[in-house]
Amino acid sequence: MIKDIAFTAYPAQDVRALRDWYVDALGLNFARPWEENGNLMYDEAQVGSGYFSLMTLQYIQVPAGSASGIAFEVDDLEKTVADLRTKGNTVDDPYDTPVCRVASLKDLEGNKVTLHQSKV
Protein backbone atom coordinates (compact mmCIF):
# COMPACT_ATOMS: atom_id res chain seq x y z
CA MET A 1 0.00 0.00 0.00
CA ILE A 2 1.10 3.58 0.69
CA LYS A 3 4.76 3.82 1.68
CA ASP A 4 5.66 7.54 1.37
CA ILE A 5 4.48 10.89 0.03
CA ALA A 6 5.86 11.46 -3.46
CA PHE A 7 4.90 15.12 -3.79
CA THR A 8 2.36 17.76 -3.01
CA ALA A 9 1.60 20.50 -5.54
CA TYR A 10 0.45 24.09 -5.11
CA PRO A 11 -1.19 26.08 -7.91
CA ALA A 12 0.65 29.03 -9.44
CA GLN A 13 -0.38 31.63 -11.97
CA ASP A 14 3.32 32.45 -12.31
CA VAL A 15 5.44 29.46 -11.31
CA ARG A 16 8.73 31.39 -11.58
CA ALA A 17 7.60 34.26 -9.34
CA LEU A 18 6.03 31.91 -6.78
CA ARG A 19 9.13 29.70 -6.80
CA ASP A 20 11.29 32.77 -6.16
CA TRP A 21 9.05 33.70 -3.21
CA TYR A 22 9.53 30.24 -1.64
CA VAL A 23 13.29 30.45 -2.20
CA ASP A 24 13.51 33.90 -0.58
CA ALA A 25 10.93 33.42 2.19
CA LEU A 26 11.56 29.83 3.23
CA GLY A 27 14.91 28.91 1.68
CA LEU A 28 13.59 26.04 -0.42
CA ASN A 29 15.88 24.76 -3.17
CA PHE A 30 13.96 24.07 -6.36
CA ALA A 31 15.89 21.87 -8.75
CA ARG A 32 13.49 20.11 -11.12
CA PRO A 33 12.08 22.74 -13.49
CA TRP A 34 9.98 21.93 -16.52
CA GLU A 35 9.56 24.56 -19.19
CA GLU A 36 7.34 24.66 -22.26
CA ASN A 37 7.85 27.32 -24.93
CA GLY A 38 9.96 29.37 -22.52
CA ASN A 39 7.35 29.27 -19.73
CA LEU A 40 8.10 27.59 -16.42
CA MET A 41 5.24 25.14 -15.99
CA TYR A 42 6.43 23.17 -12.97
CA ASP A 43 9.25 23.11 -10.45
CA GLU A 44 9.82 21.18 -7.26
CA ALA A 45 11.97 21.25 -4.16
CA GLN A 46 12.91 18.15 -2.22
CA VAL A 47 11.73 18.33 1.38
CA GLY A 48 12.58 15.24 3.38
CA SER A 49 11.86 12.19 1.24
CA GLY A 50 9.18 13.92 -0.86
CA TYR A 51 8.80 17.01 -3.01
CA PHE A 52 6.97 20.31 -2.70
CA SER A 53 5.89 21.29 -6.19
CA LEU A 54 4.55 24.38 -7.90
CA MET A 55 2.43 23.83 -10.96
CA THR A 56 0.61 26.04 -13.46
CA LEU A 57 -3.14 26.38 -13.12
CA GLN A 58 -3.45 24.64 -16.47
CA TYR A 59 -1.83 21.50 -15.06
CA ILE A 60 -3.17 21.45 -11.51
CA GLN A 61 -6.67 22.61 -12.49
CA VAL A 62 -7.48 24.45 -9.26
CA PRO A 63 -7.41 28.23 -8.72
CA ALA A 64 -4.40 30.07 -7.39
CA GLY A 65 -4.74 30.71 -3.68
CA SER A 66 -6.82 27.58 -3.11
CA ALA A 67 -4.12 25.33 -1.64
CA SER A 68 -3.74 24.90 2.11
CA GLY A 69 -2.36 21.45 2.78
CA ILE A 70 1.37 21.95 3.30
CA ALA A 71 2.91 22.11 6.78
CA PHE A 72 6.68 22.61 6.79
CA GLU A 73 8.57 21.35 9.85
CA VAL A 74 10.96 23.99 11.24
CA ASP A 75 13.67 23.86 13.92
CA ASP A 76 12.75 27.16 15.57
CA LEU A 77 9.24 28.48 14.92
CA GLU A 78 9.78 31.82 16.67
CA LYS A 79 12.92 32.56 14.63
CA THR A 80 11.28 31.48 11.37
CA VAL A 81 8.25 33.71 12.03
CA ALA A 82 10.52 36.65 12.92
CA ASP A 83 12.61 36.14 9.76
CA LEU A 84 9.50 36.01 7.58
CA ARG A 85 8.11 39.17 9.16
CA THR A 86 11.44 40.94 8.62
CA LYS A 87 11.06 40.11 4.91
CA GLY A 88 7.64 41.80 4.87
CA ASN A 89 5.44 38.71 5.17
CA THR A 90 2.33 38.72 7.34
CA VAL A 91 2.44 35.67 9.60
CA ASP A 92 -0.21 34.68 12.12
CA ASP A 93 0.98 34.55 15.71
CA PRO A 94 2.20 31.07 16.69
CA TYR A 95 -0.08 28.97 18.85
CA ASP A 96 0.32 25.77 20.84
CA THR A 97 -1.37 22.42 20.46
CA PRO A 98 -0.68 19.48 22.78
CA VAL A 99 2.01 18.15 20.41
CA CYS A 100 3.32 21.15 18.46
CA ARG A 101 3.55 24.90 17.84
CA VAL A 102 2.02 26.21 14.63
CA ALA A 103 1.90 29.45 12.63
CA SER A 104 0.48 30.18 9.17
CA LEU A 105 0.93 32.66 6.37
CA LYS A 106 -0.12 33.14 2.75
CA ASP A 107 2.32 32.75 -0.11
CA LEU A 108 2.66 35.24 -2.97
CA GLU A 109 -0.51 33.90 -4.66
CA GLY A 110 -2.62 33.44 -1.53
CA ASN A 111 -2.06 29.74 -0.83
CA LYS A 112 -1.93 28.91 2.89
CA VAL A 113 1.45 27.76 4.22
CA THR A 114 1.69 26.27 7.70
CA LEU A 115 4.87 26.21 9.76
CA HIS A 116 5.10 23.44 12.35
CA GLN A 117 7.47 22.75 15.22
CA SER A 118 7.02 19.44 16.97
CA LYS A 119 7.22 19.34 20.78
CA VAL A 120 8.39 15.72 20.76
CATH number for position 26: 3.10.180.10
CA max distance for the chain: 49
Task: Report yes or no on 37 lying in a domain.
Answer: yes
Model confidence pLDDT, tens digit, residues 89-118: 999 999 999 999 999 999 999 999 999 999
- How far, in Å, are 4, 8, 42, 51, 66 from residue 77 at the CA level? 25, 22, 29, 21, 24
The count of structural domains within the chain is: 1
Report the predicted TM-score, pTM, of the whole model to 2 decimal places: 0.92
Task: Report yes or no on 39 lying in a domain.
Answer: yes
Domain that holds residue 23: 7-118
Model confidence pLDDT, tens digit, residues 32-81: 999 999 999 999 999 999 999 999 999 999 999 999 999 999 999 999 99
Task: Report yes or no on 1 lying in a domain.
Answer: no
- How far, in Å, are 1, 90, 92 from residue 118 at the CA level? 27, 22, 18
